[in-house]
Structure 1
């Protein structure tokens, strides 16, 4: 029930009290030691104490220790024979000992030993009634004391067991929480996406292995400066300290797939997509922001490589196709060819033109969009150059082509892409207009101040139900397919995307059998800027060298 140190402690405390009483008796009433039973009682306490120290209690059953408080009670009973001194108060020690560690049966057994000792060894100078009264008072008092101590110990032990169970539950919950946190950390660390949590004080609270690898931090370097440097663009300018990703996140700025360039510790440029997400917390807690960083360098390089390969292949294919078509046209101009040869050459010419259009489309799709639409471009020069390119074909088919309107119409944009739009629309007008038709191009400034280019033809026209699908990829009208007119169905979609990227619009009015009118509208200057009227870009220069 309890260990050797507890047995020693209880017995030594009791012995210390007995020794103190003996010293005081020797000082103030030495005649008390003339009573033999008193000397026997004090001697029994000394003998029991020595035995307590010498006995190996760990080898004995726990119930063996009950002999000690019983012997102590008997020893006090011997001292009760002392005249004029009430040493019976010392019975509080063994009764408390019994009530603390043993059952109530042993408590009452101890009180029984005390009662017998008081009757047998006590000093009873008075009447028997006085002796009985003394015994009853001692029994009731010690019984109350033992019951109170026992109940208190039971409650104390119950509370201790409850606290132990609660402590075990808390420990199990803490262990589960720690295990769960370790699993979450392991899951986060294996993610390829870099994650970092930063407080509004600018201190990193948590980061995963992907972030450490990307920014060159070690596991314990949360507050160390990063050896990697962020830039506003590839080979651009380093970002100021207050404009870095972590600085902006600490201020609570919201970012959604923003592009940031990082020059890492290995000397490699990395393109990053950065997003932020506020983390939930207590209302009185400091703000914490999660920064999500995706490394898209490989994806950008792969896309750039695909564009490069497509551009090279398309460019190398277009040159021989142009030669084939040109020589076929020269042969078709001869009058001495048999009719079936002329038909075969016409098939070759049509196939070559279709293949050339496919190659040109692939080249156009591989060309990246302009980074900024800031070049001054004269639409009239673009229209004149485009008409000059298609005029031989239009003339051979008996078309009448007329350019009217403003002699100069300046906007700001990408001349190459705008020329692509005009070439595409003029090519369609030539292809879908029957022999002897007319094509008109008019340049003007609209009521809203925007530049307008209108291309009108007297061609086949487009049915209303087909007009709404004109910009769908690979869509071609029924009449174009049935008439075996070459085309891929991609040109109009590409033209619309280019016009939209310039802040413009494209409107189409068409009637089957009558013709089609397409109007392009562009803003005269970049939004929010006041542009002086510089010299327009010379269109001829664009055609001196084919784009790589």
Structure 2
């Protein structure tokens, strides 16, 4: 189809030019039509054009197309018999056609045919030298035109071939780069660590699947706010937008192992360990930071499970074994034991001591020493932050929450653990206090130099039997289970461990239907927080 269009285009250009010339001759010098060869030349042009339009050029060999411009040269040669009208200039069109698509030998043949037509048919006015001179000038002009066009076409084709090769090379390089990027993306998406690249304007440049899953990004990642919300602590305060991980990374902050809590789109709490480091960026792109986020929720849960297992081993195995060994030692001190009974008791004592050693070894292996932090902490600030986090729930249940006492109460300890203990006690107060009740928190410095936090509620209260088992793992009162209030029975165990680790004590008073009062006492200064 493209070859047919090209042939039509060239022939119609030539025919249109001839028709225009004929119209001008008709208007200005109609006597020319009395010359038979001129009329024959026009007729050959028309017939050739009709044949060009009718022939199926897609099925005709490419070399046969050369016949068309040669016929045009013959037709122009017949019109050169007209004196005083330089119709030989029309040879420029077929010569240009041939030079564009055929070899230089075809151009030479076409010029020779033109020169022969001019010599045999053209107007012979003037001397023989004038005729020869006109022929040579025309041949030289057509030769220069044909050579120039041919050379230009060769260079053009060479340039096209070079561009085609360069284009193919560029396409291959682009395909290799695309394949490489796809492989890198697949590798990054296979990582469990969440990765996200952030520009200086805070926009997300790239993220992997782990980050999308963690923050709940969908198809419009980066265009809409993430459904997950970052908090400064579990059930703590939402982090302001300007202090989120991405905002800090965009400002160029370098973070190393910073803990952030995430409340994800599914309603689950996740503990994150965040690292931020700068990476290379393109010219004019500004600073780019890479954020690496590890979900350490499972690690923390495993550590908590190990701690609980250690507590179970400690309370359920070591304490009974200590009692057994101690009572066996008391029996062995008696003088009225039969020799056989004394031997049997010694075997029991030896086995008990061995079991004590095994339990101690298991505790040491499963409960590594935690990182101890002792820093100044404002207990009032922790209480206010905890109350703020539970206030929406309390307000929804029509509970009145009041904080009184010292406006600032400094102690030394681990702020994270202390907040966890306060949250657990306050959470129980909110859960077990009925609508319209009240919760009062009071802070004061005692006479012996300690700091005390009293949390008093008007809730359902506990029986003496429940109080005796309050700090046992997984214990929940029958009243709490029947009421359907959610819980695991581990909250008060955690509170007890944290308070004890800080060298403090817990006093609990409660009565069924009259509420509960818990008083947490902490030394104002501890040189070292003992490990639990």
Task: Tell me whether 1:30 sits opposite 2:30 in the alignment.
Answer: yes
The whole-number CA distance in structure 2 between the counterparts of 1:16 and 1:37 is 20
Change (3 A) 1:236 1:132: same
Identify unmatched segments of 5+ residues in structure 2.
Answer: 378-410, 415-500, 503-520
The whole-number CA distance in structure 1 between the counterparts of 2:358 and 2:267 is 40
Task: Tell me whether 1:111 sits opposite 2:114 in the alignment.
Answer: no
Which residue in the other structure is 1:101 paired with? 101
Which residue in the other structure is 2:463 paired with? none
Task: Tell me whether 1:366 sits opposite 2:377 in the alignment.
Answer: no
SS at match of 1:234: coil
- Comparing 335-344 and 271-280, the one that deviates more: 335-344
Task: Tell me whether 1:60 sits opposite 2:60 in the alignment.
Answer: yes
The whole-number CA distance in structure 2 between the counterparts of 1:412 and 1:229 is 31
The Cα of 1:150 is off from its aligned counterpart by 0.7
Task: Tell me whether 1:141 sits opposite 2:141 in the alignment.
Answer: yes
The Cα of 1:343 is off from its aligned counterpart by 7.9
SS at match of 1:291: strand
The whole-number CA distance in structure 2 between the counterparts of 1:536 and 1:32 is 127
SS at match of 2:261: strand
1:257-300 per-position Cα deviation (integer Å, ceiling 9, x unaligned):
21111111111111111112322123432211111111111122
Identify unmatched segments of 5+ residues in structure 1.
Answer: 377-410, 415-500, 503-533, 540-546
- After superposition, where does 1:318-397 map in structure 2 within 5 Å? 318-336=318-336, 349=349, 352-353=352-353, 355-356=355-356, 359=359, 362-363=362-363, 366=367, 369=370, 373=374
The whole-number CA distance in structure 1 between the counterparts of 2:107 and 2:285 is 57
SS at match of 2:289: strand
The whole-number CA distance in structure 1 between the counterparts of 2:209 and 2:184 is 13
SS at match of 2:227: coil
1:363-391 per-position Cα deviation (integer Å, ceiling 9, x unaligned):
57638748754799xxxxxxxxxxxxxxx
Which residue in the other structure is 2:17 paired with? 17
Task: Tell me whether 1:169 sits opposite 2:174 in the alignment.
Answer: no
- After superposition, where does 1:399-438 map in structure 2 within 5 Å? none
The whole-number CA distance in structure 1 between the counterparts of 2:413 and 2:262 is 30
Which residue in the other structure is 1:180 paired with? 180
1:70-121 per-position Cα deviation (integer Å, ceiling 9, x unaligned):
1111111111100121211111111111111111111111111111111111
Change (3 A) 1:412 1:348: farther
Change (3 A) 1:412 1:211: closer
SS at match of 1:99: helix
Which residue in the other structure is 2:246 paired with? 246
Which residue in the other structure is 1:71 paired with? 71
Which residue in the other structure is 1:289 paired with? 289
- After superposition, where does 1:254-269 map in structure 2 within 5 Å? 254-269=254-269
The whole-number CA distance in structure 2 between the counterparts of 1:222 and 1:327 is 69
Change (3 A) 1:60 1:354: same
- After superposition, where does 1:449-528 map in structure 2 within 5 Å? none
Change (3 A) 1:253 1:132: same
Change (3 A) 1:84 1:309: same
Change (3 A) 1:269 1:72: same
* TM-score normalized with structure 1 length: 0.65
The Cα of 1:199 is off from its aligned counterpart by 1.0
1:219-259 per-position Cα deviation (integer Å, ceiling 9, x unaligned):
32322111111111122221111111111111111112211
The whole-number CA distance in structure 1 between the counterparts of 2:116 and 2:322 is 133
Count the aligned residue pairs.
389
Task: Tell me whether 1:222 sits opposite 2:226 in the alignment.
Answer: no
- Comparing 183-192 and 52-61, the one that deviates more: 183-192
SS at match of 2:147: helix
1:32-52 per-position Cα deviation (integer Å, ceiling 9, x unaligned):
222111111122111111111
The whole-number CA distance in structure 2 between the counterparts of 1:65 and 1:536 is 107
The Cα of 1:345 is off from its aligned counterpart by 5.8
| Cα contact 1:203–1:223 (8 A) shared by 2 | no
| Cα contact 1:40–1:78 (8 A) shared by 2 | yes
SS at match of 1:201: coil
The whole-number CA distance in structure 2 between the counterparts of 1:86 and 1:225 is 79
The whole-number CA distance in structure 2 between the counterparts of 1:134 and 1:59 is 41
SS at match of 1:196: strand
Which residue in the other structure is 1:198 paired with? 198
Change (3 A) 1:70 1:297: same
Change (3 A) 1:413 1:295: closer
SS at match of 2:293: strand
The Cα of 1:329 is off from its aligned counterpart by 3.1
Which residue in the other structure is 1:417 paired with? none
* TM-score normalized with structure 2 length: 0.67
The whole-number CA distance in structure 1 between the counterparts of 2:221 and 2:328 is 71
- After superposition, where does 1:152-167 map in structure 2 within 5 Å? 152-167=152-167
